[in-house]
Amino acid sequence: MELHSRAISPFAARVRVSILAKNLPVRIIESPDVSSDAYAQLNPFRRVPVLVLDDGTALPESEVIVQYLEERYPEVSLLPADAAARARVRLVARAAELYVFPAVVELFTALATGSVTPHPVTALEQNLQRLDALLDPARPSWHVSGAALSSGDAALAPFLLYVEALGPALDCRLLEPCAQLSKFLAGAQREPTLTTVLQEMARALAAARGGAR
C-alpha cells in the first residue's frame, strides 16, 4: 500500500498515526503533485491523504481511510470495545474537524494577510471551549476515551498542534482556559506514536512559516 501524504496536513497525520500504531507496511509518498492529471485519477478533489491499495484502488479522505484500516486490520484496534465509547471517539474527532480547524485556518489566513480581527479569535476560543466540554473530566487518563490510543486521539492531537502554533503569533495561550484539552495535549505529546507524527508536523509547519517570511 501507498499513502499520499503531506507532513503538514492534520488529516494525513491522523492516517499516519493509524499506520504506525498498527505497524502496517505502507509506503509514504510525501508531498505528491496534487495538480497533476495522474493525481486527479486518485482523487478528483486533488487533496491529501489518499491511500492506494495493493490492487490499485484509491481511497481518499482521512475518515474513510482510518475506517478502512480499522476494519481491514482490527488486530490492533484504535476504537474502544463499547459502542457508546466508540461514538464518543468519533464525536470528538468530528467536532475538532468541523468547528476547530476551520477557525484555525481562518486565523492563519488572517495572520498571513495582516488582517487579524477579534472575530476569528473569538470564534476559535468559543469552539475550543465547546470541544473541551465534550471531554469527560472523570475519564481515567488523558485519552479522548478509555486509557488506550484511539482514532479520536489521532484526529484531535494534530488539530491542537495547530492551535498551539497560533499562540505566539497572537501573544496568547489559546488552550489555557481549556483544562481537558490541555490535559489531552500534554498526554499526547508523551505518547510515542503520536509524538512521532506531531514532530513531523511541527517541522513541516515551521518550515512553511519560515518560507512565508
**Predicted TM-score of the model (pTM):** 0.93
Residue 140 phi/psi, 5-degree rounding, is -70, -15
Question: Residues 142-153: what's their mean pLDDT?
Answer: 96
- Please state which of the ranges 2-16, 92-106, 112-126, 149-163 shows the lowest mean pLDDT: 112-126
Q: In the prediction, which pLDDT does 112 show?
A: 76
Q: In the prediction, which pLDDT does 116 show?
A: 67
Q: In the prediction, which pLDDT does 40 show?
A: 97
Cell of 125: 476560543
Question: Residues 43-61: what's their mean pLDDT?
Answer: 98
Contacts by 169-175 with C-beta closer than 8 Å and gap 24+?
Answer: 169/111, 170/107, 170/111, 170/116, 170/121, 174/124, 174/125, 174/128, 175/128
Q: Would you place residue 167 in the very low, low, confident or very high pLDDT band (cuts 50, 70, 90)? A: confident
Cell of 108: 492563519
Contacts by 81-88 with C-beta closer than 8 Å and gap 24+?
Answer: 85/145, 85/146, 88/134, 88/144, 88/145, 88/152
Contact 154, 18 (CB under 8 A): yes
- Please state which of the ranges 18-22, 163-167, 192-196 shows the lowest mean pLDDT: 163-167
Measured distance CA(126)–CA(103) in Å, rounded: 10
**Could you tell me the domains of the chain?**
2-72 (3.40.30.10), 83-212 (1.20.1050.10)
Q: Which three-class secondary structure state does DSSP give residue 155?
A: helix
- Please state which of the ranges 4-8, 165-169, 182-186, 208-212 shows the lowest mean pLDDT: 208-212
Q: Is the pLDDT confidence value at 211 over 60?
A: no
